[in-house]
Amino acid sequence: MTPRLAALSLAVVVASGCASAPSAPELPAFDAAAALAAIERAGAAATEELVVRPLGNPQVQDLRADADDLRRQGQAAEAAERLDQALAMSPADPALLQERAEVALLLGDLDLAERLARQGAGLGAGVGPLCRRHWETVAQVAQARAPARIDPATGAAVVAATVTDARSARDACTVTPPPRY
């Protein structure tokens, strides 16, 4: 065997060894439907909770309704376009920002979903169902980026601090109305 052929054979063996090396375990895919269900549960208003809803622009309301219909039909990209049009007319509407964040989740755009949810939380009242939806969206994004791991010592799930912080902010959004005498 010539030295050149021996070197080539060695290179093939080394390359094939690299190709069969075990890969890192894959993280489960982000489940947008499950994330949206968690956001809806977080935003469910309790019967005794005080909820304030401002009046809105009729054109924006029509675009929101169109977007909701499109989203229910599985046309998330088209729903995003309608919500973007509505945001152009009403960029500081926390509910609209949240709706767009949720559609961003459906489209797999976690960065946009988090940015819009945080922006909505900053513009909103800081209490109520909408506030909880903002912060649960942030928690869902954080959880998707850094899924819980199992602590080998205790066997308990350990979640990232950002998930815990977002859920604490979510829980702080619940305020009961003042007592009536």
Q: Determine, yes or no, domain membership for 122.
A: yes
* Predicted local distance difference test score (pLDDT) of residue 113: 97
Q: Are 82 and 63 in contact (CB under 8 A)?
A: yes
Residue numbers of the domain that contains 61: 30-43+57-171
> Any idea how long the chain is?
181
Specify the CATH number for the domain of residue 111.
Answer: 1.25.40.10
pLDDT given at position 28: 58
What is the predicted pLDDT for the residue at 46? 65
Q: Span 56-80, mean pLDDT?
A: 95
pLDDT of residue 85: 98
Whether residue 5 is contained in a domain is answered as: no
Residue 44 has pLDDT above 90, yes or no: no
Within a domain: 127: yes
What's the confidence (pLDDT) of residue 154? 84
Q: Please give the average per-residue pLDDT across 161-179, as a whole number.
A: 87
Residue 124 pLDDT class (50, 70, 90 cuts): very high
Q: What is the DSSP string of 35-89?
A: HHHHHHHHTPPPTT---------HHHHHHHHHHHHHHHTT-HHHHHHHHHHHHHH
pLDDT at 61 over 90: yes
Residue 181 placed within a domain: no
Please indicate, yes or no, if residue 18 is contained in any of the structural domains: no
CA 135 to chain centre: 9
Per-residue pLDDT, averaged over 161-167, amounts to 91
4-28 residue pLDDT tens: 555 455 544 444 554 444 444 454 5
Q: Which of 2-6, 49-53, 160-164, 173-177 has the lowest mean pLDDT?
A: 2-6
For the residues 22-43, what does the mean pLDDT come to?
77
Total domains in the chain come to 1
Q: Does some domain include residue 52?
A: no
What is the pLDDT, as a whole number, of residue 40? 92
2 within some domain: no
178 lies in some domain: no
